[in-house]
């Protein structure tokens, strides 16, 4: 479409060619595929399609009533989409997914609705924004064609993160540059990275890191992300040698909002930890974003999660035991984060991976001791709710946001007094606590590991 989104959407179907109409009818499936060529042969364009009646379709030779109903329902939906979008004052006011949810008495996962949006846009010719539609066209070549690489701000097994500057706009961004490797490895690596991109491109929330664009070449994939000048939350905690309860609350509200948003669009992060929360700056009211979606998963119909993954010290017991798990594994991880922020050390500490794993599976932790004397009862109650062993009894993301502690601004004994903060143990930085969950396995008796 030459003019893009500036064109009134109610006029867009009229610009569908007979070939476009034929392809759209074919996309309806079943017997519709067999008669789709009739529309091209009879030169039925988009304008004509919108005005067809049941009798008109019969006259064209569409004898199957079910196919006629499919076509008529489809055209009505196109009209509804066009009218609703035209009535909106701006693109941001229009929620295509929400509109589709109103079309029938069925319930899908968010990702299924997004795919329906994409199919409608592809085959109808309508230029309608939907989650991820900004990434339908990507710029060719490598990121260095468009961005100037500055210093390295992060390294990992995946590759490197550079601070970069847009050559055209001078905006500062971060570039996560990941080499693909060679031959068969390259295919596997690229598939994993594209899965991460697939998740990030539908996310739009102030507490979720923003994917700006990405570049794909033969040798590497580069993700251009918003740049956060502050450190990650664990580094901040260590630099301060502990948070006050009020400061922990300020940060935790944003952490909980990030998880709530992801769960509302059926995304499970699976690696929620202090290291993955990045601060925009050094202030106490700095914006926090959740980053690193390499292990995240977009839930769809009939999905079953069993594969153990994540960071061992933050991993829920059901994940470690290779049982079925769901969105609430992130809630457990959020509980570990809050535990460390409030008392300075993790709920489970082991000298080896096997020992730490067994402690988490046992599920025994304590809120006793001097470290918890200055922590309010409300905060302790929330920790217990987050670290509930039974995932069905564990708080969901909405329950977390509704907890009284998040709206309680009068913390007993909570001041900036250093003596009333717990000093940070280095356990949260040790290699055992931060080891990959799936590498810790000497399976428990009866365990079966399944992808």
Q: Which residue has the higher pLDDT, 363 or 419?
A: 363
Count of domains observed in the chain: 3
Q: Which of 77-81, 302-306, 375-379, 412-416 has the highest mean pLDDT?
A: 375-379
Q: Which domain holds residue 160?
A: 143-226
Please give the pLDDT value at position 451. Answer: 35
Q: What is the b/e burial string over 27-39, where b = at least 16 CB atoms within 10 angstroms of the residue's CB?
A: bbeeebeebbeeb
Q: Among residues 294, 113, 281, 134, which one has the least CA distance to residue 201?
A: 134
Q: Which of 197, 226, 255 is the last residue of a domain?
A: 226
Model pLDDT for residues 33-43, shown as the tens digit of each residue: 778 888 888 88
In a domain, 191, yes or no: yes
Residue 83: pLDDT band (50, 70, 90) is low
Shared-domain flag, residues 364 and 334: yes
User: Do both 57 and 33 map to the same domain?
Assistant: yes
Question: Whole-angstrom Cα distance, residue 46 to residue 123?
Answer: 11
Instruction: Judge whether residue 393 has pLDDT over 80.
Output: yes
> Do 355 and 374 have their domain in common?
yes
The answer to whether 176 touches 223, Cβ cutoff 8 Å, is yes
The enclosing H or E element of 277 equals strand 277-279
Give per-residue pLDDT as tens, 432-441: 888 888 776 6
User: Position of tokens 């948003």?
Assistant: 261
Q: Taking 70 as the threshold, does the pLDDT of residue 342 lie above it?
A: yes
Q: Is the pLDDT of residue 20 over 90?
A: no
Q: If you average pLDDT over residues 352-379, what whole number do you get?
A: 93
Q: CB neighbours (10 Å) of residue 369?
A: 10
Distance CA 83, CA 11 (A): 10
Q: Tell me if 199 is assigned to some domain.
A: yes
Task: Say if residue 317's pLDDT is above 50.
Answer: yes
Domain boundary, last residue among 180, 199, 226: 226
Within a domain: 164: yes
Summarize pLDDT for 213-225 with one digit per residue, the tens: 999 999 999 999 9
d(CA 341, CA 253): 13
68 vs 210, residue with greater confidence: 210
Residue 211 forms beta bridges with which residues? Answer: 225
Predicted confidence at residue 288, as pLDDT, reads: 97
Q: What are phi and psi of 295, to 5 degrees?
A: -105, 0
Mean predicted lDDT score pLDDT of the chain? 83
Q: Which of 19-33, 199-213, 384-398 has the lowest mean pLDDT?
A: 19-33
Which bin fits 170, alpha (ψ -120 to 50), beta or left (φ > 0)? left
Asked if the structure places residue 451 within a domain, the reply is no
Q: Are residues 324 and 285 in the same domain?
A: yes
Task: State whether 124 and 214 are in the same domain.
Answer: no
Helices (H), 43-201: 46-51, 54-59, 65-87, 96-101, 110-124, 183-200
Residue 103 vs residue 416, higher pLDDT = 103
Domain contains 450: no
Query: Which of the residues are catalytic?
Result: 271
Same domain, 80 and 212: no
DSSP 140-184: -S-GGGTEEEEEEEEEETTEEEEEEEETTT--EEEEEEEE--SHH
What's the average model confidence in pLDDT over 364-382? 92
Adjacency order of strands within the sheet including 211-216: 147-156, 159-166, 172-179, 220-226, 211-216
pLDDT of residue 53: 87
Q: Is residue 446, in this structure, part of any structural domain at all? A: no
pTM: 0.75
d(CA 426, CA 4): 54
174, 125: one domain: no
pLDDT at 148 (0 to 100):
96
Contact 216, 164 (CB under 8 A): no
Confidence band (pLDDT; 50, 70, 90) for 448?
A: very low
Same domain, 199 and 258: no
Task: Give the other-Cβ count within 10 Å of 415's Cβ.
Answer: 13
Same domain, 118 and 181: no
- For the chain, give the number of residues: 451
With respect to residue 242, please indicate whether it lies within any of the assigned structural domains. yes
Q: What is the pLDDT of residue 84?
A: 55
- CATH number of 198's domain: 3.30.200.20
CATH of the domain at 61: 1.10.150.50
Residues 20, 120, single domain; the answer is yes
Q: Are 125 and 16 in contact (CB under 8 A)?
A: yes
Q: Which residues pair with 75 in a beta bridge?
A: none
Q: What pLDDT is stored for residue 410 in this prediction?
A: 55
Q: pLDDT tens, 134-187?
A: 776 788 899 999 999 999 998 877 889 999 999 999 999 999 999 998 877 888
Residue 72 DSSP code: H
Same domain, yes or no: 327 and 397? yes
Whether 447 is in a domain gets the answer no
Residues 369 and 241 in one domain: yes
Query: Given 158, 192, 226, which residue is the final one in a domain?
Result: 226
For residue 288, the domain's CATH number is: 1.10.510.10
């Amino acid at each position: 479409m030459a003019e893009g989104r500036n064109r009134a959407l109610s006029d867009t179907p009229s610009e569908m060619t007979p070939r476009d109409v034929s392809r759209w009818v074919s996309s309806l499936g079943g017997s519709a595929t067999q008669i789709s060529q009739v529309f091209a042969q009879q030169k039925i364009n988009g304008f004509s399609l919108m005005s067809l009646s049941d009798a008109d379709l019969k006259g064209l030779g569409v004898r199957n009533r079910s196919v006629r109903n499919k076509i008529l329902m489809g055209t009505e939906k196109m009209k509804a989409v066009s009218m609703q979008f035209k009535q909106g004052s701006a693109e941001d006011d229009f929620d295509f997914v929400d509109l589709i949810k109103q079309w029938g008495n069925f319930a899908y996962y968010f990702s299924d609705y997004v795919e329906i949006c994409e199919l409608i846009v592809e085959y109808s010719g309508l230029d309608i924004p939907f989650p991820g539609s900004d990434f339908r066209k990507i710029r060719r070549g490598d990121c260095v064609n468009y961005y100037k690489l500055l210093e390295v701000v992060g390294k990992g097994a995946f590759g490197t993160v550079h601070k970069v500057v847009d050559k055209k706009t001078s905006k500062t961004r971060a570039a996560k540059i990941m080499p693909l490797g060679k031959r068969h490895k390259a295919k596997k690596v690229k598939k994993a990275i594209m899965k991460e991109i697939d998740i990030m491109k539908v996310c739009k929330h102030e507490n979720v890191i923003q994917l700006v664009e990405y570049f794909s070449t033969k040798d590497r994939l580069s993700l251009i992300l918003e740049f956060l000048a502050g450190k990650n939350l664990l580094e901040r905690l260590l630099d301060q040698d502990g948070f006050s309860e009020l400061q922990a609350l300020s940060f935790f509200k944003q952490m909980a909002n990030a998880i709530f948003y992801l769960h509302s669009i059926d995304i499970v992060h699976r690696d929620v930890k202090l290291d993955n929360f990045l601060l925009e700056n050094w202030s106490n009211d700095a914006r926090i974003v959740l980053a690193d979606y390499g292990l995240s998963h977009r839930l769809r119909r009939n999905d079953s999660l069993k594969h153990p993954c994540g960071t061992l010290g933050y991993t829920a017991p059901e994940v470690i035991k290779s049982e079925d798990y769901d969105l609430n594994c992130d809630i457990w991880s959020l509980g570990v984060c809050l535990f460390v922020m409030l008392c300075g050390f993790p709920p489970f500490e082991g000298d080896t991976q096997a020992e730490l794993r067994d402690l988490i599976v046992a599920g025994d932790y304590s809120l006793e001791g001097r470290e918890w004397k200055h922590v309010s009862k409300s905060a302790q109650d929330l920790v217990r709710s987050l670290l509930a062993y039974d995932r069905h009894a564990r708080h969901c993301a909405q329950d977390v946001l509704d907890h009284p502690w998040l709206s309680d601004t009068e913390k007993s004994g909570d001041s900036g007094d250093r003596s009333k903060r717990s000093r940070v143990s280095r356990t949260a930085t040790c290699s055992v606590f931060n080891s990959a969950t799936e590498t810790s396995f000497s399976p428990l008796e009866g365990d079966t590991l399944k992808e």
